[in-house]
């Protein structure tokens, strides 16, 4: 039960951080491309790879890996935004966003893991 509460507590902080970055992005970045969601998901992928490589205790992984980064990253928003661009036939945003999100996420999780194992 403590692990569930730990993950939930971490998720609160991850969601707050995501909310702040999203709102900042809406005010300061182009509305034509979902930069905030891309930044959130790519940094989250990198950090998750790094955290996973460090072989922390299950408690720390539940707090940071599952909790904070689970609340921070947003796979559902990514896919809703992709679907919206597809539906609107906005392929000039859909294609790079999909490639950067999925491809970049995979690359960054491996990079985070590799850097974590070198430290």
Q: Which residues participate in the annotated binding site?
A: 70, 73
Q: What is the pTM of this model?
A: 0.91
How confident is the model at residue 30, as a pLDDT?
85
Domain span at residue 88 reads 1-118
Tell me what pLDDT residue 31 has. 85
Question: In angstroms, rounded to a whole number, what is the distance separating the alpha carbons of residues 61 and 14?
Answer: 14
User: Do residues 25 and 36 lie in contact, with contact meaning Cβ atoms separated by under 8 Å?
Assistant: yes
Q: At 34, is the pLDDT very low, low, confident or very high (cuts 50, 70, 90)?
A: very high
Work out how many domains the chain is built from and give that number: 1
Q: Report the percent of the chain where pLDDT is more than 70.
A: 100
| Residue 112 pLDDT level (bands cut at 50, 70, 90) | very high
The binding site for Na(+) comprises 70, 73
pLDDT in tens, 59-90: 999 999 999 999 999 999 999 999 999 999 99
């Amino acid at each position: 039960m403590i692990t569930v509460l730990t993950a939930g507590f971490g998720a609160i902080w991850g969601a707050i951080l995501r909310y702040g970055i999203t709102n900042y992005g809406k005010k300061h970045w182009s509305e034509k491309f979902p930069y905030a969601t891309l930044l959130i998901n790519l940094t989250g992928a990198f950090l998750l790879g790094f955290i996973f490589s460090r072989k922390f205790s299950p408690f720390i992984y539940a707090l940071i890996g599952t909790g904070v980064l689970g609340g921070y990253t947003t796979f559902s928003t990514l896919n809703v935004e992709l679907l919206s661009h597809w539906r609107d036939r906005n392929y000039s945003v859909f294609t790079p966003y999909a490639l950067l999100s999925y491809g970049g996420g995979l690359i960054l999780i491996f990079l985070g893991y590799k850097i974590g194992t070198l430290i």
